């Protein structure tokens, strides 16, 4: 199981480091596709937009279709102008002003034309003027049916243009070949007029054609605003800046519909990654393996060998796997900065489950290193997660209720913000700020604390504070799947008003008193060697609840009554004594006590022999073989230091009452004898209780028993009473 968890941890961490690259390689992104997760930069990466998008921009601009708007009523305007000319000439005729001066001034003012006075007089006197003008208007109307523009430059090199007509026609596309310029239209008018009215005197025809050409205006207008907007949109779509990305920055966010620019960005990033992917990936794998192996060595060779109990390596490795999985999920399925990852849930879970700060600290540091590998691979990111996680270990004291976890979470959030400020603040600006304090300006503060830094600090605080609620969400699932209990859960059973404790006091008051004494001694020993004192106290409370089934068969509950064992076979007596362990475990399961407490009930006698009845059986066997297995508790042997402490303390408390005239020397000799017998019987083989802790246990028990049961000094009134007897 441990090997499997290690393999899973290595593989999932390595896969998490390269999941984005694997996806981009297997399924190259295409425009208008939806990206299934957030892609972040794992390196310092500069995206040269001009290099990647310049060609695309030029193509888009070359393929851009200009927009014109229709200008209706050109023929009506021309007819109106020509009618005005006819009316002016008619007026001059009626006023007998045929000298040409009036017409000359009119044409100069209206059209900027310069004619000789003689030619103007000839126009006034020309008899078929109306017919000639009507013919020219007919030619102009036919020309106006074409698409006429004033400036040909906007559609130079284009194949089509768009023309916006009033509804319902809307936008209509025309080939550029159908478009003529205003200059071309006027030349056509002049040419056709001369061809059609070749018999008319050129001195009469040319001025009229010139006037008609002046009235010929474009019927398509270049939409300056809309075309400018369209061109700007193309330029915005294909910008030309160099954008710098840092490790952890978002390239494309989760569930985004990819634009062409996004695809080019991802392609450019992928090309950069490919340059050293095969050179870097093996080293990343080696680093992950080194971290995991070093962590296992620490757990098995250092922490277990030099500490008080076997570390729960299986669950710790599983928590690291969960941490990698959840951290990568945060990175993949949100677009928040990496500092929003609630990494501190890892140390908080360990503290709540084991109350073990050394393994919690080292597991947190290892977790920070692995998360840094998959999130950015920079020293700043590693320090952020490591300091934030260790802070969670240091501030998570006395968490007895769920609401208590909010304060450590708040502290972690604040520390996260402070760490980010220390890592990313511009210390050069800070130094300048204090050196030039006499000329401090508000803008100076903006150089020190910029918007990005404030954003990082805010997300760091949110990530730290969110670790608490996430811990509360995961804790019940871990307790259920790993058959363990957190301090939250254990605290429910620390109340002496629990129904089982009330029954124990009512049915077996002497056993209840024994239980309270064992709890006191176990707590003292646990504090001395750093064991889980809460678990020890609860284990002591419930370790003998099985005696409630037959209280009278246990010596402390007989109170001078006849001993029922006098009439029983030794093996039967041993069976009844042993049954209190299995019966206690059954009661505990029925009352839904945590499995770890049930384990303490089963382990507090281990596989010891019920020595009194075994010896009695040997004496009365008359030479028949007496099997030790028939007098052994079913076990198992203590699996933790807490179970070993409970075994020792239970035996010490029961044996102490049989010492006559207890002195410190007698107490110490009794305790050492009890411990040596259990060591010789192999009862502590599975919990790694070191000899240096056994010595400390002996000293604490001697001190505690001497302090609790010492003889008191007689008061004067007591001495007088004693003398008077």
Conformation bin of residue 259: beta by default, left when phi > 0, alpha when psi is -120 to 50: beta
Q: Which two tokens stand for residue 461?
A: 């605080």
Residue found by looking up tokens 């284990």 in the block:
539
pLDDT band at 715 (very low <50, low <70, confident <90, very high): very low
pLDDT score of 602: 95
pLDDT score of 540: 95
- Domain housing 140: 72-152+180-217
Average pLDDT, the chain: 85
pLDDT band at 697 (very low <50, low <70, confident <90, very high): very high
* 425 & 574 share domain: no
Is the confidence at residue 248, as pLDDT, over 80?
Answer: yes
* 355 & 418 share domain: yes
What's the 3-state SS for 363-421? HHHHHHHHHHHHHCCCHHHHHHHHHHHHHHHHHCCCCCCHHHHHHHHHHHHHHHHHHHH
SS3 label, residue 148: strand
What's the distance, Cα to Cα, between the start and end of the chain in Å? 73
**pTM: predicted TM-score of the whole model, two decimal places:** 0.69
Last residue of a domain, one of 160, 192, 217: 217
Helices of type H across 591-663: 595-603, 611-619, 641-656
Residue found by looking up tokens 């410190």 in the block:
664
Q: What share of the chain has pLDDT > 70, as a percent?
A: 92
* 100 & 142 share domain: yes
C-alpha 31 chain-centroid distance: 27
Is the confidence at residue 717, as pLDDT, over 50?
Answer: no
* 457 & 542 share domain: no
Is position 606 within any domain? yes
Question: What's the mean pLDDT in 67-96?
Answer: 82
189-237 per-position pLDDT tens digit: 889 988 888 888 888 888 888 888 888 889 899 999 999 998 888 888 7
CB-side exposure of 310: number of CA atoms within 13 Å? 14
Question: What's the mean pLDDT in 243-247?
Answer: 87
Residue found by looking up tokens 């599975």 in the block:
686
Is the confidence at residue 509, as pLDDT, over 60?
Answer: yes
pLDDT score of 702: 93
Question: What's the mean pLDDT in 102-117?
Answer: 80
What's the 3-state SS for 178-234? HEEEHHHHHHHHHHHHHHHCCCCCHHHHHHHHHHHHHHCCCCEEECHHHHHHHHHHH
* 679 & 575 share domain: yes
User: Closest Cα partner for 382 from 338, 317, 421?
Assistant: 338
pLDDT score of 332: 94
The Cα–Cα gap between 374 and 331 comes to 9
Helix (H) or strand (E) holding 325: helix 313-333
Number of domains in the chain: 3
Question: What's the mean pLDDT in 380-394?
Answer: 93
284-294 per-position pLDDT tens digit: 999 999 999 99
C-alpha 617 chain-centroid distance: 66
**Contact assessment for residue 578 and residue 554, using Cβ atoms and an 8 Å cutoff:** no
Residues 6+ away with beta carbon under 8 Å from 172: 162, 163, 165
Is the confidence at residue 527, as pLDDT, over 70?
Answer: yes
Give phi and psi for 181, each to the nearest 5. Answer: -90, 165
Is position 723 within any domain? no
Q: Which two tokens stand for residue 144?
A: 């106006």
Q: Which residues pair with 174 in a beta bridge?
A: 161
* 144 & 285 share domain: no
Least reliable range by pLDDT among 123-127, 164-168, 392-396, 530-534: 123-127
Question: What's the mean pLDDT in 610-639?
Answer: 87
**Contact assessment for residue 639 and residue 686, using Cβ atoms and an 8 Å cutoff:** yes
pLDDT score of 662: 82
* 677 & 554 share domain: yes
Is position 701 within any domain? yes
Last residue of a domain, one of 472, 488, 504: 488
Residues 6+ away with beta carbon under 8 Å from 501: 495, 512, 541
* 135 & 191 share domain: yes
The Cα–Cα gap between 601 and 581 comes to 6
CB-side exposure of 51: number of CA atoms within 13 Å? 8
Least reliable range by pLDDT among 10-24, 463-477, 536-550, 659-673: 659-673
Is the confidence at residue 257, as pLDDT, over 70?
Answer: yes
Is the confidence at residue 367, as pLDDT, over 80?
Answer: yes
Is position 245 within any domain? no
Is position 240 within any domain? no
* 584 & 650 share domain: yes
Q: Which two tokens stand for residue 586?
A: 């059954």
296-343 per-position pLDDT tens digit: 888 777 665 544 455 678 889 999 999 999 999 999 999 999 999 999
**Contact assessment for residue 107 and residue 120, using Cβ atoms and an 8 Å cutoff:** yes
Helix pair 611-619, 570-590: axis angle to 10 deg:
160
Last residue of a domain, one of 488, 505, 522: 488
* 307 & 408 share domain: yes
Residues 6+ away with beta carbon under 8 Å from 668: 698, 702
Q: Say which DSSP state 64 is in.
A: P
pLDDT score of 243: 85
* 464 & 500 share domain: no
* 552 & 590 share domain: yes
């Amino acid at each position: 199981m441990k090997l499997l968890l290690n393999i899973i941890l290595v593989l999932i961490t390595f896969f998490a480091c390269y999941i984005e690259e694997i996806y981009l390689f297997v399924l190259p992104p295409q425009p208008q596709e939806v990206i299934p997760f957030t892609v972040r930069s794992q390196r310092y990466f500069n995206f040269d937009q001009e290099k990647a998008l310049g060609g695309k921009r030029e193509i888009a601009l070359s393929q851009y279709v200009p927009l014109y708007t229709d200008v209706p009523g050109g023929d009506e305007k021309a007819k109106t102008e020509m009618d005005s000319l006819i009316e002016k000439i008619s007026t001059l005729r009626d006023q007998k002003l045929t000298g040409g001066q009036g017409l000359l001034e009119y044409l100069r003012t209206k059209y900027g034309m310069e004619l000789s006075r003689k030619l103007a007089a000839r126009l006034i006197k020309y008899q078929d003027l109306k017919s000639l003008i009507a013919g020219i208007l007919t030619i102009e109307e036919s020309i106006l049916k074409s698409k006429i523009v004033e400036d040909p430059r906007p559609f130079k090199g284009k194949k089509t243009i768009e023309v916006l007509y009033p509804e319902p026609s809307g936008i209509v596309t025309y080939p550029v070949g159908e478009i003529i310029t205003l200059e071309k239209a006027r030349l056509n008018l002049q040419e056709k007029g001369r061809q059609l009215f070749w018999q008319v005197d050129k001195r009469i025809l040319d001025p009229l054609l010139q006037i008609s050409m002046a009235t010929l205006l474009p019927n398509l207008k270049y939409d300056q605003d809309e075309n400018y907007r369209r061109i700007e949109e193309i330029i915005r779509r294909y910008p030309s800046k160099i954008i710098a990305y840092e490790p952890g920055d978002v390239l494309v966010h989760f569930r985004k519909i990819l634009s062409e620019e996004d695809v080019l960005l991802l392609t450019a990033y992928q090309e950069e990654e490919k340059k050293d992917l095969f050179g870097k990936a093996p080293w990343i794998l080696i680093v992950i393996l080194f971290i995991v192996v070093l962590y296992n060595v620490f757990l098995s060779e250092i922490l277990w060998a030099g500490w008080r109990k076997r570390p729960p390596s299986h669950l710790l490795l599983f928590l690291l796997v969960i941490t990698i999985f959840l951290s990568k999920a945060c990175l993949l399925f949100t677009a928040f900065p990496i500092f929003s990852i609630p990494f501190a849930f890892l140390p908080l879970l360990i503290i709540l489950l084991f109350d073990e700060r050394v393994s919690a600290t080292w597991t947190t540091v290892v977790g920070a290193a692995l998360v840094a590998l998959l999130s950015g691979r920079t020293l700043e990111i590693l320090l952020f997660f490591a300091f934030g996680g260790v802070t969670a270990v240091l501030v998570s004291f006395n968490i007895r209720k769920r609401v208590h976890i909010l304060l450590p979470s708040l502290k972690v959030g604040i520390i996260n913000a402070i760490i980010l400020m220390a890592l990313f603040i511009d210390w050069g600006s800070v130094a300048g700020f204090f050196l030039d304090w006499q000329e401090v300006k508000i803008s100076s503060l903006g150089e020190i604390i910029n918007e990005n830094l404030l954003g990082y600090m805010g997300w760091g605080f949110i990530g730290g504070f969110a670790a608490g609620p996430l811990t509360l969400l995961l804790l019940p699932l871990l307790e259920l799947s790993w058959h363990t209990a957190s301090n939250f859960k254990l605290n429910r059973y620390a109340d002496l008003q629990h129904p089982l404790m009330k029954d124990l006091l009512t049915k077996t008051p002497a056993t209840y008193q024994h239980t309270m004494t064992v709890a006191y001694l176990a707590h003292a020993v646990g504090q001395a060697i750093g064991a889980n004192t809460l678990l020890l106290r609860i284990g002591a409370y419930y370790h003998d609840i099985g005696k409630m089934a037959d209280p009278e068969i246990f010596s402390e509950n007989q109170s001078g009554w006849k001993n029922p064992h006098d009439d029983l076979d030794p093996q039967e007596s041993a069976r009844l004594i042993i049954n209190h362990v299995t019966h206690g475990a059954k009661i505990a399961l029925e009352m839904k006590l945590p499995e770890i407490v049930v384990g303490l009930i089963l382990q507090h006698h281990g596989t010891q022999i019920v020595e009194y009845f075994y010896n009695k059986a040997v004496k009365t066997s008359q030479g028949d073989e007496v099997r030790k297995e028939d007098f052994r508790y079913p076990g198992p042997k203590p699996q933790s230091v807490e179970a070993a402490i409970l075994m020792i303390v239970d035996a010490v408390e029961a044996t102490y009452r049989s010492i006559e005239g207890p002195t410190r020397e007698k107490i110490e000799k009794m305790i050492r004898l009890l411990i040596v017998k259990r060591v010789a019987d192999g009862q502590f083989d599975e919990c790694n209780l070191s000899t240096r802790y056994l010595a400390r246990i002996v000293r604490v028990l001697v001190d505690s028993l001497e302090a609790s049961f010492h003889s008191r000094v007689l008061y004067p009134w007591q001495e007088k009473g004693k003398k008077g007897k």
